[in-house]
């Protein structure tokens, strides 16, 4: 099984690390004449326009973000209007900004380089307002295009090893990446960005679904081949990343898997030429699952890697000094800002300049508390520690000394690792940029990759990246819900680990987000 050849992940991960030396010796440059378009556009498929009416759910964003998806919701089959709302709030175009050479179209979720390489596909049975079929969501004209007619959920169900959430889902979203749309700028490191950018979309999707009482579960365990065949992905250029089971309809039976013929649908060329980065294809193949049996074994992997209870985690991390613990002080539900999910997602951007002003400890507490209450996913089991730990560099938070911290979810507290002003170090760690130096706080998500790979094989690399970025996406929304700013950033990998060591020794960075007050008050 390729998934157990762990050297493949280490070769990719180590080969795509950023260092001060690698950045300055990389001859890569941006060929603006060859920049890919940020959409997958089918040349000959008729659009099925979606309603652009976006009613308010009335649900506070901070409540929806915190929903762990653990509660059993009553059976609910989303109609076409509800699906349109969820798709729009996940990956729709929310802002348009003109400049002398053209127009920039910003999406609902943050994306590395604003290159928008993630595509969403919908596989559904008969829904109110939409016939059963396989559809591609086109943000450029806010429309669906039908790739296949008929109910093909059985193919996804079997590919997922009969994951219960998929079996009972009237609709399933398939998330995929067209690599070149991001690799144009980021080269082989774009595979990490597949999961960073998929994760921020999923953070929005989960919040939008929770606000509409629609069950949603992220599924990472599936056989690659039938899924990519179903939505007509080009093996060399595209990859299936994750599934999301939407809705609950036990009575809406899924038929046996049907045979599907190759489609080879024509799409508009992305750019004059595409450059292949073999390392992306290699790690995707190495982390693919090849049979239903392998999927089931992967999903049921327990008692390995980071599967520790909170108490075991405390013991493993050693004794803590109570003097260095700062319990969070999150406000109650009646005290939080009640801006709705829709208002916050439409407001969200990526802050390009922070003011260096302080945020309150209550604001930081709210972001950490709401963003870490759990993610409904097939690789996360109740009672287990998540795959990533949150490390912080605090610059300007009222009633919290500047310094380096680790967040203990089980205690809902920050432990200070070292005290001091580390703005200069934070700027360096964030690839020598001013943004992390000027923010109020920087949050780094690190994972023990050895333990994750031991448990999940190479596919654990996908899961760790995705979990980190969903959490990062929740932090994004939690910041904007409080009218603060946020910005996702890249980093010097090993230098981040060194900075937080010895506590973080042996861990690998998956995600970085800067939080604080924007220098532009319009955020």
| pLDDT for the residue numbered 306 | 44
| Pairwise pLDDT comparison (311 vs 33), residue with the higher score | 33
* Residue 312 predicted with pLDDT over 50: no
The pLDDT value recorded for residue 276 is: 96
- Cα dist. 321→298, 326, 351, 402 in Å? 38, 11, 35, 18
Quick check: 303 pLDDT over 60? no
Task: For the domain covering 310-516, report its CATH number.
Answer: 3.40.109.10
What span, in angstroms and rounded, lies between the C-alpha atoms of 392 and 429?
Answer: 12
Residue 323: band (very low, low, confident or very high) from pLDDT cuts 50, 70, 90? low
Cβ contact 175:198 at 8 Å: yes
Same fold, 52-299 and 310-516: yes
Tell me what the mean pLDDT of segment 29-53 comes to: 96
Tokens of 194: 């597949």
Domain residue extents for the chain: 52-299, 310-516
Give me the chain's average pLDDT, please.
93
pLDDT of residue 98: 82
SS3 444: strand
Question: Is the per-residue pLDDT at 305 higher than 80?
Answer: no
Place of tokens 């992905």: 233
Q: Coil, strand, or helix at residue 261?
A: coil
Q: Which pLDDT value is given to residue 318?
A: 46
pLDDT for 314 equals 41
Cα(218)–Cα(216) distance, integer angstroms: 7
Distance CA 371, CA 392 (A): 14
Indicate if the pLDDT at residue 286 is higher than 80.
yes
Question: Which pLDDT does position 309 carry in this prediction?
Answer: 35
pLDDT digits (tens, 9 = 90+) for 324-368: 999 999 999 899 999 999 999 999 988 999 999 999 999 999 999
> Which pLDDT tens digit goes with each residue over 435-458?
999 999 999 999 999 999 999 999
Q: Over the stretch 97-152, which tens digit does the pLDDT of each residue have?
A: 887 777 889 999 999 999 999 999 999 999 999 999 999 999 999 999 999 999 99
- pLDDT tens string 192-246: 999 999 999 999 999 999 999 999 999 999 999 999 999 999 999 999 999 999 9
Q: Strand pairing of 102-107 and 325-327?
A: unpaired
CATH level 3 topology of 52-299: NADH Oxidase (3.40.109)
For residue 479, the model assigns a pLDDT of 98
pLDDT in the model for residue 313: 41
pLDDT in tens, 43-95: 999 999 999 999 999 999 999 999 988 554 567 899 999 999 999 999 999 99
Query: What is the mean pLDDT of the segment spanning 457-469?
Result: 98
């Amino acid at each position: 099984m390729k998934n157990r050849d762990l050297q493949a992940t280490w070769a990719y991960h180590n080969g795509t690390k950023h260092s001060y030396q690698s950045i300055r010796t990389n001859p890569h440059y941006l060929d603006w004449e060859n920049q890919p378009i940020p959409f997958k556009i089918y040349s000959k498929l008729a659009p099925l326009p979606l309603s652009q009416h976006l009613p308010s759910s009335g649900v506070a964003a901070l409540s929806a973000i915190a929903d762990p998806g653990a509660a059993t919701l009553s059976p609910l089959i989303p109609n076409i209007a509800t699906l349109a709302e969820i798709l729009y709030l996940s990956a729709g175009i929310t802002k348009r900004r003109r400049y002398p050479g053209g127009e920039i179209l910003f999406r609902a979720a943050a994306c590395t380089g604003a290159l928008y390489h993630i595509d969403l596909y919908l596989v559904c049975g008969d829904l109110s307002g939409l016939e059963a079929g396989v559809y591609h969501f086109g943000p450029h004209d806010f429309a669906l295009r039908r790739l296949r007619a008929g109910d093909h959920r059985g193919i996804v169900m079997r590919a997922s090893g009969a994951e219960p959430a998929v079996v009972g889902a009237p609709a399933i979203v398939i998330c995929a990446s067209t690599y070149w749309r991001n690799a144009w700028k980021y080269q082989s490191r774009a595979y990490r960005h597949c999961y960073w950018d998929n994760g921020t979309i999923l953070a929005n999707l989960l919040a939008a679904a929770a606000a509409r009482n629609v069950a949603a579960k992220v599924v990472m365990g599936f056989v690659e081949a039938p899924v990519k065949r179903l939505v007509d992905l080009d093996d060399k250029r595209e990859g299936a990343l994750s599934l999301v089971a939407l809705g609950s309809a036990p009575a809406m039976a899924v038929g046996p898997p049907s045979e599907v013929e190759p489609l080879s649908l024509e799409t508009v060329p992305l750019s004059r030429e595409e450059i292949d980065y073999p390392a992306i294809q290699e790690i995707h193949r190495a982390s693919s699952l090849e049979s239903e049996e392998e999927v089931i074994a992967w999903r049921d992997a327990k008692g390995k890697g980071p599967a520790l209870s909170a108490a075991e985690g405390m013991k493993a991390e050693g004794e803590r000094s109570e003097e260095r613990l700062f319990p969070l002080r999150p406000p109650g539900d009646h005290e939080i800002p009640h801006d709705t999910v829709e208002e916050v997602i439409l407001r969200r951007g990526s802050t390009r300049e922070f003011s260096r002003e302080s945020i309150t400890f209550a604001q930081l507490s709210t972001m950490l508390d709401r963003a870490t209450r759990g993610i409904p996913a097939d690789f996360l089991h109740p009672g287990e520690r998540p795959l990533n730990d949150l490390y912080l560099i605090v610059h300007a938070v009222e009633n919290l000394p500047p310094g380096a911290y680790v967040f203990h979810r089980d205690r809902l507290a920050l432990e200070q690792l070292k005290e001091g002003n580390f703005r200069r170090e934070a700027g360096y760690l964030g690839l020598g940029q001013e943004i992390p130096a000027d923010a109020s706080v920087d949050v780094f998500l690190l994972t023990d990759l050895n333990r994750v790979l031991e448990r999940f094989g190479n596919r654990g690399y996908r899961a760790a990246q995705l979990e980190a970025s969903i959490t990062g996406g929740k932090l994004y929304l939690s910041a904007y819900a409080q009218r603060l700013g946020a910005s996702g950033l890249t980093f010097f990998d090993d230098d981040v680990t060194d900075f937080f060591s010895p506590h973080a020794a042996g861990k690998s960075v998956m995600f970085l987000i800067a939080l604080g007050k924007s220098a532009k008050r319009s955020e």
